[in-house]
Amino acid sequence: MPITMAAAPAASCRNTYFDKGARLAISMWDFSWLFANCPGGAYENLERRVAEAAERGYNTLRVDCFPSRFLEDESRFEKNWDPAVNAPQWGERPVTITCNVRKKVAELADACRKHKI
């Protein structure tokens, strides 16, 4: 007996962000959102960075959520870069950061919901 496929979605539904009628616009955030979420860091005001992403038209953030650290009560990321020596390379931190990753991911998720991302 031949197998038949269901009809394809209507053309108006193609390339949509599920049922929202908008294209999916993804911004990829590596671990910088956490490593630079410190005084003077680019993500010091995390909610403002999320709001700016929304203002630029992004409706989705793809983030590094640190699954290997998610169950730790406290994670420590050591300083591994000195701005007086050279320009930063990917993943280098000018300060040591200690935080609860799970709580930081929840903070990011709250900001995303608030700004409809």
The phi, psi pair for 115, rounded to 5°, reads: -105, 15
H or E element, residue 81: none
What is the Cα Rg of the chain in Å? 19
Query: What length does the chain have?
Result: 117
Predicted local distance difference test score (pLDDT) of residue 77: 95
Predicted local distance difference test score (pLDDT) of residue 97: 93
Q: Any bridge partners for residue 27, and if so which? A: 61
SS3 content of the chain, % helix, strand, coil (to 5): 30, 10, 60
When pLDDT is cut at 50, 70 and 90, the band that residue 8 belongs to is very low
Higher pLDDT, 88 or 4: 88
When pLDDT is cut at 50, 70 and 90, the band that residue 101 belongs to is very high
Predicted local distance difference test score (pLDDT) of residue 88: 83
The phi, psi pair for 77, rounded to 5°, reads: -120, 110
DSSP annotation of 87 reads P
Which three-class secondary structure state does DSSP give residue 50? Answer: helix
Strand 60-63 vs strand 26-29: parallel, antiparallel, or unpaired? parallel
Q: Which residue has the tokens 């209507």?
A: 10
Q: What is the pLDDT of residues 12-55, one digit of tens each?
A: 555 556 677 788 899 999 999 999 988 888 899 999 999 999 99
Q: What is the pLDDT of residues 55-78, one digit of tens each?
A: 999 999 999 999 999 999 999 999
